Structure 1
Amino acid sequence: MLKLNKIHHIAIICSDYEKSKHFYTKILGLEILQEVYRKERKSYKLDLALNGNYVVELFSFPNPPQRVSRPEAAGLRHLAFEVADIEKALSFILNNNIEAENIRTDEYTGKRFFFFSDPDDLPIEFYES
């Protein structure tokens, strides 16, 4: 059997680079490791870390096609982040004028969580630790 070490990163293509860069760095608080503009592709690549660990590559491309996200389309469903205080996390999201679902409880783990979306409507989940 193949032995995987860990998830290296998640790649996200955005439609508005500056808006998504703001969201992932200023709202979610991911740290910028490196930002590169690839002139030949008219594309930015932003490497982002969480607590010093490389986790997300944010890409921009001219006119990327829309991807169906809802209702429950096949493929990547959402990106989830663990948080210590679910109420505080929800309050922070709402105070930044981002719509979010109500807090729900995972029927199997008893942990609480809620969903909201990034600027391109990619579902993001905050799940309590």
Structure 2
Amino acid sequence: MRTKGFHHVAIICSNYDRSKQFYTEILGFPIIQETYRAARNSYKLDLKVGEGDAIELFSFPDPPDRPGRPEACGLRHLSFAVEDLDQAVAELQSKGVEVEPIRVDELTGKRFTFFQDPDQLPLEIYEA
């Protein structure tokens, strides 16, 4: 199989309005399309992340909790490439988002850091 890249990443949130505000207003991802699916009592929000990248943000009634251990099997975190890490950190902090101290990738020498979405999903910004 030969792929062209990622098509999208899907996220299930516990509070749709809070997560929609976080991803659109705090992170600044433009809305591609918002759909309410009555049969599932669920919203699906398509967000533009990069040139061809997207996040699908879903709401479902009573989703199960995410495993609490950071080393639990499954998706570990999402990473977003930024040009200026210091500027991105300052912008997040100005909007009330707690950001971990900046680290340096021992393999690439590039700087990165982590923060969390409203459901404590770990998100990374990586200076590219």
Q: Residue 81 of structure 1 aligns with which residue?
A: 80
Task: List runs of 5+ in structure 2 lacking aligned partners.
Answer: none
Calculate the TM-score normalised by the size of structure 1. 0.94
CA contact (8 A) 1:69 1:121 kept: no
Calculate the TM-score normalised by the size of structure 2. 0.95
**Structure 1 pair 69–111 and aligned structure 2 pair: CA distance change class (3 A):** farther
Deviations 1:91-123 (A, max 9, x none): 111111111110000001000000000000000
Q: Residue 94 of structure 1 aligns with which residue?
A: 93
Deviations 1:49-78 (A, max 9, x none): 124534100000001111114332110000
**Structure 1 pair 49–97 and aligned structure 2 pair: CA distance change class (3 A):** same
Quote the sequence identity (%): 55
Query: Which one-letter code corresponds to 1:5 in the other structure?
Result: K
Q: What's the secondary structure of 1:89's corresponding residue? A: helix
Q: Deviation above 6 Å: which 4+ runs of structure 1?
A: none
Distance in 2 (alpha carbons) for counterparts of 1:114 and 1:34: 29
Query: Which one-letter code corresponds to 2:48 in the other structure?
Result: A
**Count of aligned residue pairs for this structure pair:** 128
Q: Which is worse superposed, 62-71 or 114-123?
A: 62-71
